[in-house]
Amino acid sequence: MIFALVFMIDVHCHLNFHAFENDIDDVIKRAGQKGVEKIINVGTSLESSRKAVELANNHENLYAVIGIHPYHADKLENDWEKELINLGKNDKVIGIGEIGMDYYSYTSNDVVDPKIQAKVFEAQIQLAHELELPLQIHNRHAGKDVIEILKHHKNLLRKTPGMFHCFASTEDVLKNLLELGFYVGYDGNITYKGLAPGETVESARLISLTPLDRIVCETDSPYLTPVPYRGGRNEPSYVIIVGEFIGKIKNAPFEKVEKITTENVRNLFKI
Ligand SMILES: [Zn+2]
Ligand SMILES: [Zn+2]
C-alpha cells in the first residue's frame, strides 16, 4: 500500500470562489492524494465568508477564515459585524481574514479611501479579539500603515497574533511583524523572476530573512500559480511546490520545510 509521504497545509486559498464551482471535489481529492491534508479557505466579503464556512461544514479537512478584504471595505451592509460574529462562532472558523490595507489601484476597483479601510480593519481586529481568533493579514503596498495599526492595538492581539498572507514588503516591515509575533505566508509567486510592480525587495531575500519556524505555506488559489503551471488556475496541491522552493532558498531539505511549516500552522490555528 502506498501512503502519501507529505503532510502539508494550504493556509490561504479561495475554493469558495467561482473558479472552483464546477470541480471543487476533484480539486480537494487531488490535494489529498498529493499529501495536502488540510485546506483553509478565506473569505473576502460576507458572501465568500459564508461560502467558506459552508464548505468547511461539508468537508472534514476544510477550515474557514472569515472577514472583509480592504477592497470591499466601502461596500458593506449595516450589520456586517453582527453577521461576522455569528459566523465566527462556528467551530470550523479558525481565524479572521483576509483583513488589512491595500493601496494598489486595481483595474476593477480604485483604491478604497484609506480612512474607511483602516476603520474596517480596526473593527475586525476588535472582533477577532472578542472571538479569540488569530488574524490573517492582507497587505499590499501599505506595510507601514498596517504595522502602525497593529502596534496601536497591541493590547487586542493574541500571544500568537496571526499571520501575514502572501507576504511582500520591505525588510523593515518584516522585522516589525516578526517582533509582534506574526507568522509569514509565502505563495507560488516566489517562483516568478524579478520584482512584482511596486515592490522593492526580492521574495528570496525576504524568505532568507524569515526564520523557518515563522513560515507558513499557501497558494492563494485560484491566483498566483507557481512555475511551471503559471498561466493556469492555481490549486491547493501546488502548495508542495511552494514548500520545495522555500527549501531551495533556505538550503534545507523539503522534509524539514514540510515538517516545520505544518507545525507552525498547528501552533497558530490549532488544527
Ligand atoms: Zn490577499
Ligand atoms: Zn487571498
Give all domains of the chain, ordered by start, each with its CATH number: 8-269 (3.20.20.140)
pLDDT at 108 over 70: yes
Please tell me the distance between residue 155's alpha carbon and the centre of ligand 2 in angstroms.
26
Q: pLDDT of 224-253, one tens digit each?
A: 999 999 999 999 999 999 999 999 999 999
Provide the grid cell at 40: 483553509
Taking the centre of ligand 2 as the mean of its atom positions, its distance from the CA of residue 1, in whole angstroms, is 36
- Single pTM value for the model: 0.96
The answer to whether 67 and 96 have CB atoms below 8 angstroms apart is yes
Cα(219) to centroid of ligand 2, in Å?
Answer: 9
| Protein residues near ligand 2, an ion, with CB under 5 A | 220
pLDDT digits (tens, 9 = 90+) for 177-224: 999 999 999 999 999 999 998 999 999 999 999 999 999 999 999 999
Ligand number with the minimum distance to the CA of 218: 2
Residue 114 — left, alpha, or beta (φ > 0 → left; ψ -120 to 50 → alpha)? alpha
Rg value, the chain, Cα: 17
- Whether 33 and 62 have beta carbons less than 8 Å apart is answered as no
Centroid of ligand 1 to alpha carbon of 220 (angstroms): 8
